[in-house]
Chain A
Amino acid sequence: MVQATETAPAATGTQKKPIVPFLALEDGEPYLKGTKCPKCGAHYLGARMACSKCFNTEGFEDVKLSREGEVWVYTIVYQSFPGAEVPFVGAIVDLPEHVSVRCNLKNVKADPEHVKFGMKVRMKTGPVDYKDKEGNMQTRKDREGNEVIAFWFEPVSGA
């Protein structure tokens, strides 16, 4: 017997799927989903069961996090897992809501001379490009054929 609460399986192979649950693609311009603790005001990326700062467990508010922030720190990764394109700039971006995001920085030279502390950056989203075994550019698809959508940040005023 089919349970009344069971939802119909989503159509496969036709959708854009966020790479992480806290990337919202469904309503208008993509944004990062945050949570605010109503008791102490701490903000988090994604959903929370409890506040890790004040231990509150109730009344969390959904927050649309800002699309612009500042580079706190970064590294330039030259050795990574197979499939990851190196070098890339991995960074921690601080958003005005006092939430930090781990992300790639794009459209900036992978070089400490060009990545600046405090640099203003803006979130972008798109498919994940990679080179296949023949060297052709492809975009990542999951096992069901859905296109995987990621976010990254890049300088507000082209660096």
Chain B
Amino acid sequence: MRDVFVLGVHMIKFGRYPEKTVPELGADAVIGALKDAGMTMSDVEIVTCGNLYQSNAMVGQRVMQIVGQTGVPVVNVSNACATGSTAFREAYFSVASGAYDVAMAIGVEQMGKMGLLGGGGGAGDPAYSTEGVLGTGIMPGVFGMAGVEHMRKYGTTLEQFAQISVKNHKHAMTNPLSQYQVEVSLEDVINARMVAYPNTLYMCCPTGDGSAAAILVSEAKAKQYTSKPIKVAASVLTSDPYTERDLTLPDINTLTKNASKEAYEKAGIGPEDLDLIELHDCFATAEMLHYENLGIAGEGEAGRLVDEGATSIGGRIPVNASGGLLSKGHPLGATGVANVYEVVQHLRGNRGAGQVEGAKVGLAHVIGLGSACTIQILTN
């Protein structure tokens, strides 16, 4: 395997674009990423495209029909919330394997005002639907229970979870690409309507539309275009291994711990070497758990990290400088490429007002329920 570099990356402002098609949203990101790389479609040798809600409809090829039909291989990817990051990883391996010198990863999604996701049962006859009858399988319920598990084990409080939402909303104020730029107080978060205990409305990410794209290249190729390429030091994907309750309450911890361990080994670093993290805060409870899963807090110590403000910009290890999914938004297929975009801006020193000063190593994490976890470690 050889080294892989991110040469170009772009994302559009997350939000709602009812006037655009999914391929048009994807094309916006592709054109931006090519420009950022100093390339054109004729340079791209393979395309991977992550999209969930049109995953039966050749989104990658339809993007190419807008931006340039070069006839290169196009692979469409779907992997729940890890869809975009899995597309990124496929592009990474296309180059790392030596098969291609230039690969493009696209992540795109159009969700509109789609409501609660997940749940199930009742296929064929709604009388057999289980949501609200046999407990809850929708995402707010599942991540509510995951948070309650942390409360049970370690005495974590609703206020500590709420503080994460305050932080991420504050971070978004410096990110013009964020779906929401609204600062909220601890009282606002706690007093917002409860969606699924302990997550109130501001502790749940919104649905929305968005896209992002990245150009990944070999070292030789990178050197032709830039003196400051961003290296992909690790790109890891795991699935949920057997744990006792996983089939009933998806275990979001074990596969993330497995992924981070593998990613740190591959990159030859430890969590203490990270300058910033973009992690999958689909709910405020999730971010808390991932502090421990990614090793920036010991078991049961994530609450203390929040109390100390260590994960705010200016803190020891800033997490979700972009505003996170809670504020930046979470168009599922786009998320895993957009968090690479954010990390790259910091590593280039281009982020502007929200810049994590002197950032050299960043980690981008995504988890998709069902379950898939990706981690990319990037260095400058």
Which positions in A face B, CB cutoff 8 Å? 19-20, 42, 44-45, 52-53, 72-81, 83-88, 90-92, 94, 98, 100-104, 112, 117, 128, 140-143, 148, 150-152
A52 touches B132 (CB 8 A): no
Residue from the list A91, A94, A141, A150 in contact with B133, Cβ < 8 A: A150
Min CB gap A152→B, angstroms:
8
A79 touches B196 (CB 8 A): yes
Chain B residue at smallest Cβ distance from A81? B131
Chain B residues positioned under 8 Å from A53 (CB to CB)? 242
Q: Within the assembled complex, what's the spacing in Å between the Cα atoms of A42 and B116?
A: 33
A75 touches B249 (CB 8 A): no
Min CB gap A92→B, angstroms:
5
Most buried by B among A45, A76, A77: A77
Which positions in B face A, CB cutoff 8 Å? 116, 119, 121, 125-138, 140-141, 144-145, 148-149, 152, 193-198, 242, 244-245, 247-249
Q: Within the assembled complex, what's the spacing in Å between the Cα atoms of A92 and B251?
A: 12
**A91-B132 contact, Cβ under 8 Å, with A73-B148, A79-B116, A142-B125:** no
A77 touches B128 (CB 8 A): no
Q: Within the assembled complex, what's the spacing in Å between the Cα atoms of A146 and B248?
A: 27
**A45-B248 contact, Cβ under 8 Å, with A77-B132, A90-B135, A151-B134:** yes
B247 touches A75 (CB 8 A): no
A91 touches B196 (CB 8 A): no
Most buried by B among A19, A42, A75: A75
Min CB gap B350→A, angstroms:
39
Q: Within the assembled complex, what's the spacing in Å between the Cα atoms of A56 and B58?
A: 38
Q: Within the assembled complex, what's the spacing in Å between the Cα atoms of A112 and B244?
A: 25
Chain B residue at smallest Cβ distance from A147? B127
B148 touches A20 (CB 8 A): no
Chain B residues positioned under 8 Å from A142 (CB to CB)? 125, 127-128
Q: Within the assembled complex, what's the spacing in Å between the Cα atoms of A151 and B135?
A: 10
Chain B residues positioned under 8 Å from A98 (CB to CB)? 244
Most buried by B among A79, A104, A143: A79
Q: Within the assembled complex, what's the spacing in Å between the Cα atoms of A152 and B245?
A: 18
**A143-B127 contact, Cβ under 8 Å, with A77-B140, A151-B134:** yes
Chain B residues positioned under 8 Å from A140 (CB to CB)? 127
Chain A residues positioned under 8 Å from B128 (CB to CB)? 19-20, 142, 148
> What are 17 A-to-B residue pairs whose CB atoms are below 8 Å?
A20-B128, A20-B134, A45-B248, A76-B144, A77-B141, A78-B197, A80-B131, A81-B138, A83-B129, A90-B135, A90-B144, A91-B135, A102-B135, A104-B133, A128-B127, A151-B134, A152-B134
**Other A-B pairs beyond A19-B128, A88-B132, 18, CB < 8 Å:** A19-B121, A20-B128, A52-B242, A52-B247, A72-B152, A73-B148, A75-B144, A75-B196, A75-B197, A77-B136, A79-B193, A86-B132, A94-B245, A100-B247, A112-B197, A112-B198, A117-B152, A151-B134
Chain A residues positioned under 8 Å from B145 (CB to CB)? 73-75, 90-92
B149 touches A78 (CB 8 A): no
B245 touches A92 (CB 8 A): yes
Chain B residue at smallest Cβ distance from A145? B127
